[in-house]
């Protein structure tokens, strides 16, 4: 792989503070570290990370400012859109006060107690984008925003209303790279050509998904729609995903319990290299969030790409003592 293409690929994981990663003891020097120490350590090993917590609750501006301050120049954050922005049903406790005032007195609920997305009026969605933009602005202003991830709910289908919504995203988040991941097969493979064309017309980045090969899974569609390409690797634990399809509720760790082998990742390298030749920037994010699997696989892929990969973590006593809780 030529140096310029190799340098265009940036590899990271989804969530530096995932409990399973911390509890594994396989990456961080100590299980008990301050939030600051953990992020600083992560940023000493990788140069990008995806923020998953923003899907569950819009982050506080104080926190996003801290993230910026605790990472070196050139580090980038990919921020996952809040659940309501992608057709998911938000948990009641995560809904900001500004949005709660816009809800009907008795909003519809899912069987798990979430507030149905359809209960929110259009002005609530507008307010959500405003709150989300305000929260992410410090990251973007510091030049540390990679992409905003719109991972649409599995029930969001290819239809005119959804296409109109996609087309509206750049105006809602002007100047930001927006990456889109679908989870319903009406997009891929059923309307693959139309979907890619819609993304290109809206200037949105197509997310190339690697996951289990189940009957309902989105296939890996290797294509670029913008000058930024995004890979998200979810692992290939078919049983975990099938349990969810059967109406069971496997824990996140069970669903993503998968460690890619070196041969599996070696098989992806030519594809990633091809994307690097077409795009100005390629981001690869590992979302197989169980134990220390995403870190192990991210470091493995970096080595396979000919990139410097981190040495084993230093002992805790080699880091500043005041960073530990």
In this predicted structure, the answer to whether residue 6 has a pLDDT above a threshold of 90 is: no
Confidence of residue 58 (pLDDT cuts 50, 70, 90): very high
Q: What pLDDT, on the 0 to 100 scale, is given for residue 318? A: 44
Q: How many CB atoms lie within 10 A of CB 94?
A: 16
Domains of the chain by residue range: 3-308
Q: What pLDDT, on the 0 to 100 scale, is given for residue 65? A: 98
Q: What pLDDT, on the 0 to 100 scale, is given for residue 52? A: 96
In this predicted structure, the answer to whether residue 295 has a pLDDT above a threshold of 50 is: yes
Bridge partners, 281 (sequence order): 228
Q: What pLDDT, on the 0 to 100 scale, is given for residue 224? A: 96
Q: What pLDDT, on the 0 to 100 scale, is given for residue 4? A: 56
* Element (DSSP H or E) covering residue 61: helix 61-69
Confidence of residue 319 (pLDDT cuts 50, 70, 90): very low
In this predicted structure, the answer to whether residue 269 has a pLDDT above a threshold of 60 is: yes
Please write the tens of the pLDDT for every residue from 157-172. Answer: 999 999 999 999 999 9
Bridge partners, 115 (sequence order): 109
Cα torsion 246, 218, 83, 197: sign: negative
Q: What pLDDT, on the 0 to 100 scale, is given for residue 253? A: 72
Q: Which residue has the tokens 């709910």?
A: 153
Q: What pLDDT, on the 0 to 100 scale, is given for residue 245? A: 63
In this predicted structure, the answer to whether residue 241 has a pLDDT above a threshold of 80 is: no
| 3-class SS of residue 109 | strand
**C-alpha distances in angstroms, 132 versus 77, 100, 104, 137, 245?**
14, 15, 22, 8, 31
Q: What pLDDT, on the 0 to 100 scale, is given for residue 240? A: 75
| Domain range 3-308, CATH architecture | Alpha-Beta Barrel (3.20)
Residues 6 or more apart whose CB falls under 8 angstroms from that of 33 comprise 41, 323, 324, 325
Average pLDDT over residues 274-285: 96
DSSP conformation letters of 192-222: HHHHHHHHHHHT-EEEEEE----TTSPP---
Q: What pLDDT, on the 0 to 100 scale, is given for residue 320? A: 42
More confident residue, 24 or 1: 24
Average pLDDT over residues 293-297: 97
Please write the tens of the pLDDT for every residue from 95-107. Answer: 999 999 999 999 9
Average pLDDT over the chain, rounded to whole? 91
């Amino acid at each position: 792989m030529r140096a310029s293409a190799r340098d265009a690929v940036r590899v990271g994981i989804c969530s530096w503070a995932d409990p399973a990663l911390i509890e594994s003891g396989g990456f961080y020097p100590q299980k008990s570290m301050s939030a600051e120490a953990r992020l600083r350590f992560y940023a000493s090993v990788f140069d990008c990370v995806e923020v998953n917590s923003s899907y569950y609750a819009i982050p506080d501006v104080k926190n996003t400012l801290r993230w910026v301050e605790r990472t070196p120049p050139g580090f980038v954050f990919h921020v996952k859109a809040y659940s309501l922005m992608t057709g998911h049903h938000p948990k009641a406790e995560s809904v900001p006060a500004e949005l709660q005032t816009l809800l009907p007195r008795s909003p519809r609920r899912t069987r798990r107690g979430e507030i149905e997305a359809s209960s929110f009026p259009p002005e609530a969605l507008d307010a959500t984008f405003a709150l989300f933009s305000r929260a992410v602005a410090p990251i973007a202003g510091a030049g540390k925003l990679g992409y905003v991830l719109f991972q649409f709910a599995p029930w969001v289908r290819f239809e005119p209303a959804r296409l109109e919504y996609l087309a509206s995203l750049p105006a809602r988040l002007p100047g930001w790279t927006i990456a889109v991941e679908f989870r319903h097969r009406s997009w891929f493979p059923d309307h693959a050509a139309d979907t890619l064309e819609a993304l290109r017309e809206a200037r949105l980045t197509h997310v190339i998904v690697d996951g289990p090969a189940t009957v309902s899974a989105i296939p890996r569609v290797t294509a670029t729609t913008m000058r930024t390409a995004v890979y998200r690797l979810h692992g290939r634990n078919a049983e975990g995903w099938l349990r969810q399809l059967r109406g069971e509720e496997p824990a996140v760790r069970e669903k993503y319990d998968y460690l890619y082998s070196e041969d599996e990742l070696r098989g992806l390298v030519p594809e990633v290299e091809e994307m690097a030749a077409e795009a100005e920037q390629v981001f690869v994010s590992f979302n197989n969030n169980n134990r220390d699997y995403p870190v192990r696989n991210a470091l493995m892929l970096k080595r396979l790409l000919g990139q410097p990969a981190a040495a084993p973590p230093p002992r805790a006593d080699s880091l500043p003592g005041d960073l530990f809780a």
